[in-house]
Structure 1
Amino acid sequence: MPVQADATPWQAQAPATRQFDDDGRTPNSVLPVLHYRPGQSLEEGEALAQQLEALFHANEWPVQWRGGVFGFHHYHSVSHEVLGIFRGSATLMLGGESGERVTVQAGDVIVLPAGVGHCRLEASRDFTLTAGYPPDQQDWDLCRSGEDDIAAARQRIGFVGRPAADPLLGREGALPQYWR
């Protein structure tokens, strides 16, 4: 059962959105990236990881791994991805090599549509996140910007379904509205 929007510290404000055009090396997406920041200070660490993972699971974005973000430009052509930062901070590049630098810290959640490039530029030693994918997209791929067949990737991205629920706020969250 999806978690209701009033159940989390992320419901206080709408997520920041970013949209990136296909640059010929990274397909990006017609759907916006959603960047949630909590409306209050959160204690980072294992308790935050467990809270994020419980929300992702409850809202039909099962978690598959914990770790960081690769230090090379890449994207996923068969899945959307949610990243929940639970420790440390980092500067990411979203949208490919000519995209946008975005600073993230513990408590931030980034929802990446299929095709959106991402890369870690800098990170604190303790930077750690948890990552999930919609249930019908558990077999995510790893495509390197400028190296993989972008035409084939664009085709695969066109077949990726849109999830019914926001990973943090459920069916009443921003994702179903922004990703219509």
Structure 2
Amino acid sequence: MLGPALIFLSDDGLFPNSSLPVLYYNQVITKDGDNNSIEFIKLFNSYNWTNHWVGGIHTIHHYHSNTHEVLGVIKGGTTLMLGGDNGQKLDIEQGDVLVIPAGVAHKNLRSENQVLCVGAYPEGRGYDMNYGTSGERPLVDRNIGSVSIPDTDPIYGKEAGLPKIWPHYFSFNQ
């Protein structure tokens, strides 16, 4: 597996997005089967990305202002819209992993249950839900600005990925 693809999304006025790129890892787990959720949970746990959930991806734009998120696709596939209506589309499928920085809007463009994922958060943080509605900002901007870069990547730990990439793009005005 090669390093992640980097997807850059800027503030569109409605969604804050981030100065940090979304990290897209293609085919992290290539096994086909019912144990993919267990494999992803074990992998994420080994690098302290916990507070797991298993389910689909919402079909409305949403983001988290208080934590970053990792999604491991355990079954199916879909097209995501990242960054809001004027953002970027990304096709994901079983075995892929996406690390989404705090503030980055994401939306499933197909049905919620067309894809099944394991989601997790660095150090097991709880997460909030924001939808780009009036009144969210400037509070969410302050929240996003206080979220630090995790010590570990959910795939590679401290050796590669996120801790080597994100510091180059981090700004306090994410």
* Fold shared by both chains (TM-score > 0.5): yes
Matched-pair contact (CA < 8 Å) for 2:64–2:104: yes
1:151 lines up with 2:144 in the alignment: no
SS in 2 for 1:107: coil
Partner of 1:33: 22
Q: 1:138 aligns with which of 125, 130, 153?
A: 125
AA of the residue aligned to 2:2: Q
Give the Cα–Cα distance (whole angstroms) in 2 for the partners of residues 19 and 154 of structure 1: 18
Matched-pair contact (CA < 8 Å) for 2:57–2:115: no
Aligned ranges for residues 1-180 of structure 1 at < 5 Å?
12-38=1-27, 42-123=30-111, 125-135=113-123, 138-180=125-167
Per-residue deviation, 1:124: 8.2
Give the Cα–Cα distance (whole angstroms) in 2 for the partners of residues 52 and 156 of structure 1: 28
Give the Cα–Cα distance (whole angstroms) in 1 for the partners of residues 84 and 113 of structure 2: 24
Partner of 2:171: none
Matched-pair contact (CA < 8 Å) for 1:88–1:124: no
Partner of 1:7: none
Matched-pair contact (CA < 8 Å) for 1:96–1:118: yes
Q: Deviations over 1:13-54 (max 9, x none)?
A: 011110111011000001110000127x82333222111110
SS in 1 for 2:98: strand
Partner of 1:5: none
Task: Give me the identity figure in percent.
Answer: 37
Give the Cα–Cα distance (whole angstroms) in 1 for the partners of residues 49 and 127 of structure 2: 13
AA of the residue aligned to 1:87: K
| Cα separation, partners in 2 of 1:88 and 1:154, compared to 1, 3 Å | same
Give the Cα–Cα distance (whole angstroms) in 2 for the partners of residues 13 and 114 of structure 1: 24
Matched-pair contact (CA < 8 Å) for 1:19–1:31: yes
Give the alignment's Cα RMSD to 1 decimal: 1.7
Structure 2 length as normaliser, TM-score? 0.90
AA of the residue aligned to 1:78: N
Per-residue deviation, 1:123: 4.5
Give the Cα–Cα distance (whole angstroms) in 2 for the partners of residues 82 and 125 of structure 1: 18
Per-residue deviation, 1:148: 4.7
Matched-pair contact (CA < 8 Å) for 1:89–1:123: no
Matched-pair contact (CA < 8 Å) for 2:73–2:118: yes
Matched-pair contact (CA < 8 Å) for 1:21–1:28: yes
Q: Mind listing any 5+ residue stretches in structure 1 that lack a counterpart?
A: 1-11
